[in-house]
Structure 1
Amino acid sequence: MPLDTDNANDNFTDVNGHQIAWRSTGTGRPLLMLNRFRASMDDWDPALIDALARHHQVITFDSAGVAQSGGDVPETLEGAADIAMALAKAIELDKPNVLGWSMGGMTAQILAAKYCDEIGGVILAGTTPSFAIEGTIPVPNEWLGTATKEQNTPEDMQFLFYADTDTSRAAGMASLERIGGGDAIAGAASKTAMQTIAAQGAATRTFFFGEDGASKKLGTISVPVLVANGDQDRAFAVENSVALVRTIPNAQLAIYPDAGHAFLFQHAEQFAKDVTEFLTAR
């Protein structure tokens, strides 16, 4: 089907019997965006999407059971990877590059191992391998408790996604205002139902503890991989990014200063530049 790349209007496409909501922004080689835990496609910072869209056709979407999309949340992150790949095929993306953030980065690891012949390069942003991998640090309980609240405030989002410095906190508030159309409270508000959050949480826990076997396949990934993170990520410490680079063949590492889990929003221009240079070189 032809893609509408002139604006970011919502599209709906049947994927494995579910109506999946997606948007296309910009032109160039496709870049499929896999989102974080409990986020809808409205939770991407427009500054990042605009920066990436200068050189890529950026595809954002709500996976099955999330926000505008139909169906149920897959029981495993492999199921989420299957939905992402099926969407790419349904809308005729030719070997898309993939950018996965946080939970989306976990899903992207599985996608990279399972569909290596059908994708291009992969960016793993602010994410982690299974905690069964040597050198990883489990996500702190305080972070998990805040991340799973029914509603998050702007202050919660500052804790979850930004470093505890004036510069990072100011960047976090600016990002929330962009996401919320000028209203930081709206930017922080959950766009997904609690049943969605619970189902994603169950799938993610299975990944964390290596019960889905995803960690055993990291060494088989043959596509180019860039692992990126903020130097003060409270969710997934820099050590976890290093563990990914040590486990995935030929992976590269980029760490952003004075930044937390949402380093890609805080450093949107630099991160988009680095993504483009990494993917263009390959």
Structure 2
Amino acid sequence: MIRRAFIKAVLFAVACAATAPIPAGAAELWQTLPPTPAPVATGRHAEVNGIRLYYVDTGSGSPVLLLHGGLSNSDYLADVARALKDKHRVILVDSRGHGRSTRDGRPFGYDLMADDVVALLDALKIDKAAVVGWSDGAIIGLDLAMRHPARVTRVFAFGANTLTSGVKDDVEQNPTFAAFVTRASGDYTRLSPTPGEYDAFHKQIGKMWESEPNWTDGQLATIKVPVWIVDGEHDEAIKREHTETMAKTIPDARLLILPNTSHFAFLQDPAAFNKSVTEFLGD
């Protein structure tokens, strides 16, 4: 979820919340935005990398990190956690400045947020973990696989892009995205330790979206862990050809397109999404 087009969508949706929701009676599942799940458990904060990072630690077994998309928070992936926690130790994270986590004066960047995750793994004494990421969270997962390969066992990258040009130019016209952005603004006010600073938060995230990620094929070719490149059949933001190119460029990556869903497949068809995640994890 990057590029200037999406930034325009954010500004429009926040300013016009009354008109942003999806039209009533939308016929297709991929045109809907179901409610955000309730938190899977109560979380806590870790003092890492100069910020207070909120996380939820639930379940037992091999560790899995769940990383959410830009502007949102870890509650979006709570149902994924519920599906995994009987067999895995699941760590959900609110990325810096998102949800209940704080931020500092450093500019947002995927590398910085990936470093936050590594610092959290250190604090929890977890050597390595599988990563299930959505959108910005998936991009963070790929960054971890390139820059911190010893800390990652595998990456499930849903709705990611590796170049800013991988984002559709008309995403700002999509009512599902507009509804999500409106919801995200309200969530920020409700959850953030700085509820009155959404505009500053959004501006900082916007600067990141304008220029990141922009990885070369050579950088992606360094990824050695198993990777699934996954997207919804009707993703509002990511170009299908870009998703397919990612899968061809990352060594031995698997491509999976989830039918009748969009960038929000984990809300629209949680059974199918969670089945694909459990298959990815080898359960």
Bigger shift: 268-277 or 89-98?
Answer: 268-277
Per the alignment, residue 222 of structure 1 pairs with 224
Residue pair 1:48, 1:269 contacting (<8 A) in 2 also: no
Q: What's the secondary structure of 2:115's corresponding residue?
A: helix
Residues 215 and 265 of structure 1, relative CA distance in 2, 3 Å threshold:
farther
Deviations 1:14-41 (A, max 9, x none): 1023211110122221111121111122
The residue aligned with 1:201 is: 206
CA RMSD of aligned residues (A): 2.6
Q: Mind listing any 5+ residue stretches in structure 1 that lack a counterpart?
A: 1-6, 147-154, 162-184
User: Which secondary structure does the structure 2 equivalent of 1:249 belong to?
Assistant: coil
- Find out whether 1:99 has 2:148 as its counterpart: no
What CA deviation, in whole Å up to 9, does each residue of 1:242-280 have, x standing for no partner? Answer: 111011000001111111101122222222222222222
Matches of residues 1-282 of structure 1 in structure 2 within 5 Å? Answer: 8-42=41-75, 44-72=76-104, 74-131=107-164, 137-141=166-170, 143-144=171-172, 156-157=176-177, 189-191=186-188, 193-208=198-213, 210=214, 213=215, 216-280=218-282
Deviating runs (4+, > 4 A) in structure 1?
155-161, 185-188, 213-216
Separation of aligned partners in 2, 1:194 and 1:272: 34
- After superposition, what is the alpha-carbon deviation per residue over 1:143-202, rounded to whole angstroms, capped at 9, x for unaligned? 2477xxxxxxxx6458669xxxxxxxxxxxxxxxxxxxxxxx978833262322222221
Structure 2 residue matching 1:64: 3-state secondary structure: coil
> In the alignment, which residue of structure 2 is the partner of 1:182?
none
Query: Structure 2 vs 1, CA of residues 22 and 160 (structure 1 numbering), >3 Å: closer, same or farther?
Result: closer
Q: CA deviation at 1:48?
A: 2.5
In structure 2, runs of 5+ residues without a counterpart are 1-39, 193-197
Secondary structure of the equivalent of 2:212? helix
Q: CA deviation at 1:214?
A: 6.0
Structure 2 CA distance for aligned equivalents of residues 59 and 278 of structure 1: 17
Letter in 1 for 2:203: A
Preserved contact between residue 55 and residue 276 of structure 1 (Cα < 8 Å): no
**Distance of aligned partners of 1:186 and 1:255 in 2 relative to their CA distance in 1, 3 Å threshold:** closer
CA distance in 2, matches of 1:214, 1:70: 31
CA contact (8 A) 1:36 1:102 kept: yes
- How far apart, in 2, do the equivalents of 1:218 and 1:265 lie? 29
State the Cα distance separating 1:131 from its structure 2 match.
Answer: 4.1
| Equivalent residue letter for 1:32 | L
Change (3 A) 1:47 1:34: closer
1:219 is matched by which residue type in structure 2? A
Amino acid at match of 2:90: V
Match of 1:106, SS? helix
TM-score, normalised via structure 1 length: 0.74
TM-score, reference length from structure 2: 0.74
Contact 2:71 2:184 survives alignment (8 Å): no
**Structure 1 residue identity aligned to 2:212:** F
Q: How many residues align?
A: 235
1:89-146, Cα deviation, whole Å (9 max, x unpaired): 11112311111111111222111101111211101001112146xxxx43224x2477
